[in-house]
Homo-oligomer: A and B are copies of this chain.
Amino acid sequence: MKKAVGTRRQDSLSRDRIIDAAIRILDSDGETGLTFQALAKTLATGAGAIYWHVENKNDLLTAACDAVVARTLDAAEGGAMPGATIRALAVGLFDAMDEHPWIGSALARAGGKMPILRILERLGQQVRALGVPQEAEWTTVSAILSYILGVGGQNAANAQFAGQHGLDRSKFLEEVADEWSRLDPDEFPFARSIALYLPQHDDRADFVAGIDLILRGIGMPS
């Protein structure tokens, strides 16, 4: 039977199909679940075939991260004001990193590569629209970016740890709070006192509060 023109073979490999499969594995099994064997099996191919389309594992991880980041940034609703748009971008990224914790560590390893660059660009355009003086642009943008990456990294570490020990988020926080509350009161007064607050705190709200703190620092009323 003759194939219709333009019909792609369903089973042909491509960079995009590999990246899609990688994302699915990362989402369901976490970072440790993504191996070339598992990926090859999912794609019904040999492990070596993947290397025709992808440089190495880091390249794959960065590409998978970039795909999700690009989608996320596109979906972020821009508010009327630049400040609101920055907040929307940040919150969009937070939610994405919360849903796919592996993004946090992928971003940390991505250096100046695409996913980072994409975020930087979007933030930069808004900071510029905000009317920040030119000398302060880079400082402002990289501060917001670093903050977002820092939160994402911690989030990834927590998710990883919780996953390894079969704890859900709230059990995990209780665990940490419990540990902190047993610290030496003379050496760790702050951590001890904050421990009580930990289990009931709202990560997302705290994250936004941090963004607002930075925006206030550049003179944006919040």
Interface residues in chain A, defined as those with a beta carbon under 8 Å from any beta carbon in chain B: 105, 108-112, 116-117, 120-121, 124-125, 128, 137-143, 145-151, 153-154, 156-158, 160-161, 176, 179-180, 183, 187-191, 194, 197, 201, 206, 209-210, 212-218
Contacts and interface: CB of A to CB of B under 8 A. Distances in A.
B108 A157 contact: yes
A128 B206 contact: no
A83 to B, nearest CB: 13
30 contacts: A108-B108, A111-B154, A112-B180, A117-B180, A117-B188, A120-B190, A121-B187, A121-B188, A121-B191, A124-B191, A125-B190, A128-B190, A138-B194, A138-B206, A139-B210, A139-B213, A140-B213, A143-B210, A146-B154, A146-B210, A147-B150, A148-B150, A150-B150, A150-B151, A150-B153, A153-B153, A213-B214, A213-B217, A216-B217, A217-B217
Contacts of A109: 105, 157, 160
A69 B182 CA distance: 22
Nearest to A140: B213
B161 A154 contact: no
A157 B124 contact: no
Contacts of A212: 217
Given A190-B124, A214-B217, A216-B217, A197 B151 contact: no
A121 B151 CA distance: 18
A110 B125 CA distance: 34
Given A128-B190, A145-B150, 6 more contacts: A112-B179, A120-B190, A143-B147, A146-B151, A149-B153, A153-B153
